[in-house]
C-alpha cells in the first residue's frame, strides 16, 4: 500500500487571532455550583474526539466551531480560570461537525485534526511547535486519506470527523480514525507524528458494500496499548433497529469484549455484527445512538441512548462483566426529546439529537448528562455505587433560560487534577449549520 504523503491539497498559514428520572435515583442538596463561560461563541459535535484534553494538572486544551465557521482552539487553567484563544482557521465552514480533536505527541507538541463535513476536500492537521502553547499552532495541512485500491472496493470519497490517538506501547505510533472512504469508518497510521501516513484501512463495512450505510463510532484510549470503540449499524434516522456494538484495537488486531479476535489489520474490514453486541434494538424498546465510552482497570463502560419514540429519549449505562461475559445494562433516566429548536410548521431534521452524556474517565461511576427538565435541558452529575442500578443526583444547572447540552470531560486527566466538565449553552440551535452557542464549564470542588 502506498504511503499517504502530506503533500497538501491545501496548506494554509494563518496569523493568530488572537421529564423525569427513573426510580432508584436520589437527589442531593448542595450549594448552587459556580458556572463559568469559556467562550461566548462556540459549538461542537460529539463524534470528533477527544475534543478536550488535559496536558497537565493545570491546563486543558479544547476547541470548537464559531458561528461564522472559524475553528478556534483554547487553553484553560481551571485553577486560575485564565484562558487563551487562537483562531487557527478563520471562516472554515459553518457546521458544528468540524470541531477539532486533540492528542499529545511524544515530543510534547499538540496535534489537532478536523475536517469539513461530508465533502471531498479531505481532513486537516495542525501541530504546535512549542509544546502546549496554542499560539504555536499555525500551519493547517489539508490532505485526503485515500488510495485507488480502497476506492475500487468502496467507491465513495467523502470526509467527516477526525479522532487522533497515540499508543505509547506501539512505538508511539499515531492512529487517526474518521468517516472517510466508502462513507465508512477508516483508520490511518503514522510512525512520524503525522508527517506521513503509511497505512490506511476501511475498518468496518456492510456486505455487500452499499454507499449509503454509515456506522457511527465513538473512540477512547488511555494512550497506551488499546483503542476502544462503540458503534451502531448506522444513523438512527435511517436504521429503524439501530443497535450498539463494542470492540477494541490492540497489537495490530481488533478484538471482542471477551478477547476473541475479530481480525488482524490485514483482514479489514469487518462487519458491524462481527463485534460484541451491547444492545439489540427492536421497535418496542427503540433504536439506539451512542454517547461516550471509557475503560477502567480492564472494564469498558458505555453510555448510549434508546429512542422508543422520537420524543422519548432514554439514557443507558452499560459495562462489561468479564466473569459472566455479559453486559450489565441499566436505564439511567428519561432524557426528554431532541434539543434543536424546530421552527414552527417544520418537521425536525434531527429528532435523535439528545442532550448527551459524558464519563469521568478516572471514575466511570460518575457521569454528567443533559436532560430536559420543565422544557429546558439542564446539566446534572450522577454517581452510582452499585454498577448503575441506582444513582445519586447533583444538579449543576437549574432553572436555566437556555438549553445546556453535549457535556464533555477532557481526556487524559492527571490524578491530581480537578475534574472539569464543559458543555454547550444554546442561545440558538436550529441545525448543525445554524447555531449561536457558548461553551460553559464547571470545576468540581
Give me the helices (H) in 147-236, please: 148-153
Distance CA 96, CA 369 (A): 20
How many residues are given for the chain? 445
- CB 123 within 8 Å of CB 178: yes
- HSE-CB at 46 with a 13 A cutoff on CA atoms is 23
Answer positive or negative: Cα dihedral of 103, 106, 110, 113: negative
Distance CA 129, CA 62 (A): 17
How does DSSP classify residue 411? B
- CB 332 within 8 Å of CB 317: yes
Quick check: bond before 17 cis, omega within 30?
A: no
Based on the number of CB atoms within 10 Å of its own CB, is 324 exposed (0-12), middle (13-18) or buried (19 or more)? exposed
Quick check: bond before 413 cis, omega within 30?
A: no
- C-alpha distances out from residue 422 to 186, 405, 430, Å: 28, 9, 21
Phi first, then psi: give them for residue 88, nearest 5 degrees.
Answer: -90, -15
pLDDT on residue 15: 33
- CB 123 within 8 Å of CB 130: no
Distance CA 226, CA 97 (A): 25
Phi first, then psi: give them for residue 244, nearest 5 degrees.
Answer: -120, 135
pLDDT on residue 13: 38
Distance CA 296, CA 64 (A): 28
Among candidate residues 246, 388, 392, the one with its CA nearest the CA of residue 315? 388
Phi first, then psi: give them for residue 266, nearest 5 degrees.
Answer: -70, -15
Distance CA 144, CA 121 (A): 7
Among candidate residues 339, 432, 428, the one with its CA nearest the CA of residue 379? 339
Q: pLDDT 10s digit of each residue in the chain, 445 long?
A: 544 545 444 444 333 333 333 446 566 556 789 999 999 999 999 999 999 999 999 999 999 999 999 999 999 999 999 999 999 999 999 999 999 999 999 999 999 999 999 999 999 999 999 999 999 998 999 999 999 999 999 999 999 999 999 999 999 999 999 999 999 999 999 999 999 999 999 999 999 999 999 999 999 999 999 999 999 999 999 999 999 999 999 999 999 999 999 999 999 999 999 999 999 999 999 999 999 999 999 999 999 999 999 999 999 999 999 999 999 999 999 999 999 999 999 999 999 999 999 999 999 999 999 999 999 999 999 999 999 999 999 999 999 999 999 999 999 999 999 999 999 999 999 999 999 999 999 999 9
Distance CA 108, CA 150 (A): 33
292-321 as b/e, with b when 16 or more CB fall inside 10 Å? bbbbbeeebbbbbbbbeebeebbbbbbbbe
Judge if pTM exceeds 0.85: yes
- Residues 6 or more apart whose Cβ sits within 8 Å of residue 175: 164, 165, 166, 167, 187, 188, 189, 227, 249
- Residues 6 or more apart whose Cβ sits within 8 Å of residue 356: 46, 291, 369, 370, 405, 406, 407
- HSE-CB at 26 with a 13 A cutoff on CA atoms is 9
Distance CA 47, CA 43 (A): 13
- C-alpha distances out from residue 266 to 192, 203, 229, 409, Å: 21, 10, 19, 34
- C-alpha distances out from residue 428 to 41, 84, 100, 392, 432, Å: 11, 25, 21, 31, 11
Amino acid at each position: 500500500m502506498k504511503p499517504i504523503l502530506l503533500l497538501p491539497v491545501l496548506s494554509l498559514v494563518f496569523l493568530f487571532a488572537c421529564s423525569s428520572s427513573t426510580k432508584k435515583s436520589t437527589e442531593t442538596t448542595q450549594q448552587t455550583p459556580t458556572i463559568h463561560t469559556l467562550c461566548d461563541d462556540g459549538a461542537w459535535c460529539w463524534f470528533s474526539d477527544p475534543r478536550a484534553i488535559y496536558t497537565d494538572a493545570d491546563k486543558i486544551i479544547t476547541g470548537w466551531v464559531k458561528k461564522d465557521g472559524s475553528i478556534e482552539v483554547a487553553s484553560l487553567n481551571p485553577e486560575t480560570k485564565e484562558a487563551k484563544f487562537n483562531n487557527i482557521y478563520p471562516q472554515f465552514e459553518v457546521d458544528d461537525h468540524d470541531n477539532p480533536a486533540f492528542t499529545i505527541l511524544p515530543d510534547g507538541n499538540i496535534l489537532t485534526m478536523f475536517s469539513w463535513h461530508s465533502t471531498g476536500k479531505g481532513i486537516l492537521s495542525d501541530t504546535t511547535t512549542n509544546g502546549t502553547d496554542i499560539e504555536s499552532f499555525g500551519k493547517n495541512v489539508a490532505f485526503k486519506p485515500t488510495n485507488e485500491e480502497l476506492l475500487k472496493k468502496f467507491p465513495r470519497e467523502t470526509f467527516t470527523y477526525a479522532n487522533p490517538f497515540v499508543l505509547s506501547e506501539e512505538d508511539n505510533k499515531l492512529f487517526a480514525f474518521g468517516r472517510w472512504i466508502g462513507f465508512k469508518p477508516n483508520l490511518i497510521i503514522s510512525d512520524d507524528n503525522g508527517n506521513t501516513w503509511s497505512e490506511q484501512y476501511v475498518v468496518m463495512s456492510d456486505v455487500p458494500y452499499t454507499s449509503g450505510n454509515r456506522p457511527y463510532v465513538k473512540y477512547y484510549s488511555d494512550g497506551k496499548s488499546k483503542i476502544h470503540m462503540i458503534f451502531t449499524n448506522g444513523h438512527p434516522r435511517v436504521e429503524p433497529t439501530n443497535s450498539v456494538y463494542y470492540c477494541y484495537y490492540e497489537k495490530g488486531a481488533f478484538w471482542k469484549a471477551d478477547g476473541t479476535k475479530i481480525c488482524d489489520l490485514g483482514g479489514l474490514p469487518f462487519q458491524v455484527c462481527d463485534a460484541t453486541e451491547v444492545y439489540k434494538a427492536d421497535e418496542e424498546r427503540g433504536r439506539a445512538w451512542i454517547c461516550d465510552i471509557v475503560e477502567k482497570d480492564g472494564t469498558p463502560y458505555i453510555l448510549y441512548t434508546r429512542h422508543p419514540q422520537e420524543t422519548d429519549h432514554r439514557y443507558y449505562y452499560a459495562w462489561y462483566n468479564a466473569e459472566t461475559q455479559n453486559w450489565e445494562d441499566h436505564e439511567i433516566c428519561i432524557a426528554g426529546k431532541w434539543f434543536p429548536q424546530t421552527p414552527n410548521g417544520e418537521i425536525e431534521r434531527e429528532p435523535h439529537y439528545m442532550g448527551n452524556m459524558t464519563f469521568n474517565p478516572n471514575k466511570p461511576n460518575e457521569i454528567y448528562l443533559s436532560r430536559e427538565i420543565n422544557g429546558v435541558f439542564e446539566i446534572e452529575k450522577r454517581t452510582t455505587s452499585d454498577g448503575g442500578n441506582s444513582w445519586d443526583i447533583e444538579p449543576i444547572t437549574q432553572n436555566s433560560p437556555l438549553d445546556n447540552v453535549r457535556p464533555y470531560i477532557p481526556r487524559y486527566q492527571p490524578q491530581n487534577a480537578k475534574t472539569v466538565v464543559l458543555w454547550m449553552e444554546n442561545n440558538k440551535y436550529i441545525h448543525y449549520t445554524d447555531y449561536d452557542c457558548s461553551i460553559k464549564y464547571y470545576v468540581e470542588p
